Amino acid sequence: MLNEKPVISNQYGALAMAFLPYFYAVIQAKEYNWSLFLFGLAWLFLYLFSYPFFQLFSKKPTSKNQRWAIIYFILSLIFALPVMIIFPQVLLFALPLLPLGLVQFYFAKKRDERNLLNDTAGILTFGIVGMATYYLAVQAVDFAFLIHPTLFFIATTFYVKSLARERKNPLYAELSIGIHLLSSLLYLFLGKNAFFIAYLFALARAIIVPTLGWNVKKVGMFEFLTILIFLAALSY
Average pLDDT by stretches of 10, the chain with 236 residues: 77 86 94 91 96 85 90 97 95 94 91 89 96 95 96 94 84 94 96 96 94 84 92 92
The per-residue pLDDT for 33 is 86
Helix, strand and coil content of the chain, in percent to the nearest 5, comes to 80, 0, 20
The per-residue pLDDT for 87 is 94
Q: Where are the domains of the chain?
A: 1-142, 146-236
Counts of helices then strands in the chain (DSSP H, E): 9, 0
How far is residue 32's CA from residue 92's CA, in Å, rounded to a whole number?
21
How far is residue 208's CA from residue 211's CA, in Å, rounded to a whole number?
6
- Which pTM value belongs to this model? 0.93
How far is residue 90's CA from residue 84's CA, in Å, rounded to a whole number?
7
69 near 52, Cβ under 8 Å?
Answer: yes
How far is residue 160's CA from residue 166's CA, in Å, rounded to a whole number?
9
What are the b/e assignments for 82-93, b being 16+ CB within 10 Å?
ebbeeeeebeeb
Residues 6+ away with beta carbon under 8 Å from 151:
183
